[in-house]
Amino acid sequence: MSFRTVRPLLAALLTASAVASAQPPAEPAPGAPAAEGLPAAAPARGVVDYRIEARLDPATRLLEGRQVVTWRNLRSRPTQELWFHLYWNAWRNDRSTWMVEDRYRGRSDRGDDAEEEDWGYLVVDSATPQTATRFAAPDDGNPDDRTVWVVTLPEPVAPGESVRVELEWHARVPRTFARTGVRGDYFFVAHWFPKLGVWEEEGWNCHQYHAATEYFSDYGAYDVSLTLPSRFVVGATGRRTERTDHADGTSTHRYRQDDVHAFSWTASPDYLVVEDSFHSPGLPPVAIRLLLQPEHRRQADRHLHATRAALKLYGRWFGPYPYGHLTVVDPAWGSGAGGMEYPTLFTSGTRLFNPSGGGSPEGVTVHEAGHQFWYGLVGNNEFEHAWLDEGLNSYSTGRVMQETYGDSFVVRRFFRPPGLRGSGFLPWIYRDLPQSELIRPRRLDDYRRSARSDLPSRPTYRYFPATAGDITYDKSALWLVTLERHLGWPTMRRLLSAFFERSLYAHPTPEQFFALADEVSGRDLSWFFDQVHYGAAVFDYAVTSVKSAPVGRRGLFEEGQGLAYRDEAGDPEAGPFRSEVLIRRLEDGVFPVEVLLVFEDGSEHRESWDGEYLWKLIEVERPVKLAWAEVDPDHLLVLDVNRANNSRRLEPRARFPAVKWASKWLVWFQDLLHLFGSYV
């Protein structure tokens, strides 16, 4: 049975159910309740429902679809237009805004070597009702960009009313761009249908597709039927409610899910299906379905363990995962689909050889599972405030990883064939090179490189593409760790839990987060957010000088009725000693810090400094000499770009470690010289 023959039947079904679903939800949630004095998170639940019938021909990679969109106007203004994202048109040619920006990223997904069959597209064949359609480029006016499409309706949609639009479209699945596409007979299909933007009080929020940002949509119900050859194992957002096998060797898989803001699916004949479940006291159970590449079967437990860890700790710290099911996808080699989040489904990503303890695939699994919370359930605008989910989630991932697995170890991959990009195939794990999962060194490196590359408060889609990720992920995660250490974990946890609760199924903004931080902590934290979000402050405190000398006296001193000259050297054995420590603020960032002085007998002297002025001199007199001094000894200020200068010994001891590590380098270099010699 071909798709064309079932069209009339499907149309009838779609119409009937669309009418039914056009009713307002039984209990429409108007967005999260606002704290007193705070703006409410924008209502986003029950706004839009999709009913989609799609058919994939794997041979031609063509996707044909019909969909009925029912949209409700929950704002106070009418609108006569509906703005849709047509994301896949970003990969129609090299003139789209996405492709232009991708070239600036310097890590082109595929633009440089894409061939004719690699490009994808999404073409809407018909829309009913409508009086006109057009493409729009609200962000940059790019006339060649076809990722935003506007439908003009015959009548305006008044506040509180709803409208139903029927669309027919066809699309070609690209070779993978932005984690979406095909490799061999492996399909990962995301952001694949005409998808409504978000109607706000100010107008439609429907950005063009950008290379360094992701998505933004309202919540609603999805009812999606996918028809494709029966040999394919399918995974998708939601629960599969039906499977119908057809005589032509195809099957239709019907998935339904309420209260999500996207729908993605994957299909491959090779998937190994592993079923598991999550149970933890106080949290709702979750059925986990792992779609695994057969060559990774030995890593099934590692994927499942990481998923359960994320569900447990995010659930306990922030709020429960409510959907009851979750699909974990291990993408095919080279598909480029790994490490991406979608509602009730995410892609992980591993390698054939991945030593335990190296943090992979656990890290990416926890991160993408965590996005079910920060992105899935809390639906911030990823075009404009990507840090709200990526920063919060990177920070949360680090916490879960550190708590569950502890430090990871450095892994270096060897055997990278000549002429090829990417990492090598054969890993070597350095079990004597641990690294923190909470403050990953790579994260610090990226932040250090890009600390001033953009103002974080600028809309994310306007960040410089090459360094956008450094701000969105790395800097944000690091200032969140700093905030945690400043406030303490219990307060931070209360803040994130409250933010989760108030932003559930809603569109929170950074301002709401900052206001909530003030409220929960009971402090005015604007000085901090002004620097890390509204500014591009860089932090660097240093101990620039330490001295400790016996206390003597020299000069004229009052004695009896007059002044007497005294020249008395201090006792270098018995003391006492005057110790001087000079602390400097070397960059513009200001943060209150502690200064710790440790003396030769192990005794300590600790002082607080507001960190505002450019320097502070600490003078202490003790019976013993100073051993060393350190500013921010508890490492609260994770954003400090140079930790090495935070401490200073009275007597430097750098020679031994320098010789030790240079001697290891020497062995490598001697061997390298032999390699040079081997060519002659």
Answer for the pair 216, 381: CB distance below 8 angstroms, yes or no.
yes
Instruction: State the number of binding residues for another protein (CB under 8 A).
Output: 82
**By CB under 8 A, residue 334 contacts another protein:** yes
Q: Which pair of structure tokens corresponds to residue 531?
A: 């620097």
Q: Which pair of structure tokens corresponds to residue 174?
A: 């690209």
Report the distance separating Cα 381 and Cα 284, nearest Å.
27
Among 95, 243, 431, 553, binds another protein (CB under 8 A): 431
Among 125, 414, 603, 634, binds another protein (CB under 8 A): 414
- Contacting another protein within 589-648 (CB under 8 A): 628, 630, 641-648
Among 425, 489, 557, 613, binds another protein (CB under 8 A): 425
Nearest one of 435, 394, 408, 416 to 302, comparing CA atoms: 408
Nearest one of 168, 169, 161, 186 to 75, comparing CA atoms: 161
Among 333, 464, 514, 534, binds another protein (CB under 8 A): 333
**Which window, 146-154, 394-402, 574-582, 668-676, contacts another protein (CB under 8 A)?**
668-676
Answer for the pair 179, 188: CB distance below 8 angstroms, yes or no.
yes
**By CB under 8 A, residue 247 contacts another protein:** no
**Which window, 48-56, 381-389, 430-438, 485-493, contacts another protein (CB under 8 A)?**
430-438
Q: Which is nearer to another protein, 128 or 670 (CB)?
A: 670
**By CB under 8 A, residue 441 contacts another protein:** yes
The residue assigned the tokens 């994202």 is 85
**By CB under 8 A, residue 332 contacts another protein:** yes
Q: Which is nearer to another protein, 92 or 351 (CB)?
A: 351
Among 134, 279, 449, 553, binds another protein (CB under 8 A): 449
Q: How far is the CB of 408 from another protein (least distance, A)?
A: 10
Within a 13 Å sphere around the CA of 617, how many CA atoms are in the beta-carbon half?
5
Q: How far is the CB of 529 from another protein (least distance, A)?
A: 25
Instruction: Please write down the HEC assignment for all residues of 154-202.
Output: EEEECCCCEEEEEEEEEEECCECECCEEEECCEEEECCCCCEECEEECC
**By CB under 8 A, residue 415 contacts another protein:** yes
Q: Which pair of structure tokens corresponds to residue 583?
A: 């602390």
- Contacting another protein within 492-521 (CB under 8 A): none
Answer for the pair 645, 540: CB distance below 8 angstroms, yes or no.
yes
**By CB under 8 A, residue 557 contacts another protein:** no
Q: How far is the CB of 394 from another protein (least distance, A)?
A: 17
**By CB under 8 A, residue 423 contacts another protein:** no
Among 281, 419, 522, 562, binds another protein (CB under 8 A): 419
Among 418, 490, 555, 560, binds another protein (CB under 8 A): 418
Among 562, 565, 573, 653, binds another protein (CB under 8 A): 653
* Dihedral (Cα; 235, 241, 245, 249), 10-degree rounding: -20
Q: Which pair of structure tokens corresponds to residue 607?
A: 């002082």
Residues 6+ apart with CB under 8 A from 27: none
Query: Angle at the Cα of 297 (from 295 to 300), degrees rounded to 5?
Result: 135
Answer for the pair 331, 190: CB distance below 8 angstroms, yes or no.
no
Q: DSSP letter for 677, please.
A: H
Continuous segment of H or E residues that includes residue 103: helix 97-105
Paired strand residues for 620: 579
Q: Which is nearer to another protein, 503 or 579 (CB)?
A: 579
Among 2, 277, 603, 670, binds another protein (CB under 8 A): 670
Residues 6+ apart with CB under 8 A from 473: 387, 390, 391, 394, 443, 446
Distances (CA, A) of 505 to 5, 131, 377, 508: 38, 33, 5, 9
Q: How far is the CB of 270 from another protein (least distance, A)?
A: 6
Could you give the 3-state DSSP secondary structure of residue 668?
A: helix
Could you give the 3-state DSSP secondary structure of residue 99?
A: helix
**By CB under 8 A, residue 273 contacts another protein:** no
Within a 13 Å sphere around the CA of 422, how many CA atoms are in the beta-carbon half?
13
Answer for the pair 208, 142: CB distance below 8 angstroms, yes or no.
yes
Q: Which is nearer to another protein, 259 or 630 (CB)?
A: 630
User: Any idea how long the chain is?
Assistant: 680
Query: Angle at the Cα of 233 (from 257 to 284), degrees rounded to 5?
Result: 40
154 burial type by CB count under 10 A (0-12 exposed, 13-18 middle, 19+ buried): exposed
Residues 6+ apart with CB under 8 A from 196: 48, 69, 71, 82, 83, 84, 85, 206, 217, 218
Could you give the 3-state DSSP secondary structure of residue 541?
A: strand
Answer for the pair 261, 44: CB distance below 8 angstroms, yes or no.
yes
Site map for another protein, 335-354, x if CB under 8 A?
Answer: x---------------xx--
Among 134, 244, 298, 428, binds another protein (CB under 8 A): 428
Q: How far is the CB of 633 from another protein (least distance, A)?
A: 9
Among 59, 247, 614, 675, binds another protein (CB under 8 A): 675
The residue assigned the tokens 């491959």 is 268
Among 5, 27, 202, 665, binds another protein (CB under 8 A): 665
Q: Which is nearer to another protein, 4 or 653 (CB)?
A: 653
Q: How far is the CB of 481 from another protein (least distance, A)?
A: 13
- Contacting another protein within 537-556 (CB under 8 A): 546
Q: Which is nearer to another protein, 512 or 646 (CB)?
A: 646
Distances (CA, A) of 299 to 91, 250, 271, 336: 33, 31, 14, 19
Among 442, 567, 602, 608, binds another protein (CB under 8 A): 442
Q: How many helices (H) and strands (E) does the chain have?
A: 12, 35
- Contacting another protein within 75-94 (CB under 8 A): none
Among 143, 417, 490, 555, binds another protein (CB under 8 A): 417
- Contacting another protein within 278-317 (CB under 8 A): 293-295
**By CB under 8 A, residue 9 contacts another protein:** no
Q: How far is the CB of 150 from another protein (least distance, A)?
A: 37
Q: How far is the CB of 678 from another protein (least distance, A)?
A: 7
Q: How far is the CB of 326 from another protein (least distance, A)?
A: 23
Q: How far is the CB of 189 from another protein (least distance, A)?
A: 15
**By CB under 8 A, residue 117 contacts another protein:** no
Q: Which is nearer to another protein, 11 or 439 (CB)?
A: 439
Among 138, 284, 424, 459, binds another protein (CB under 8 A): 424
Q: Which is nearer to another protein, 190 or 543 (CB)?
A: 543
Q: How far is the CB of 640 from another protein (least distance, A)?
A: 10
**Which window, 17-25, 152-160, 410-418, 460-468, contacts another protein (CB under 8 A)?**
410-418
Site map for another protein, 173-202, x if CB under 8 A?
Answer: ----------xxxx----------------
Q: Which is nearer to another protein, 257 or 467 (CB)?
A: 467
Distances (CA, A) of 580 to 108, 567, 629: 53, 21, 10
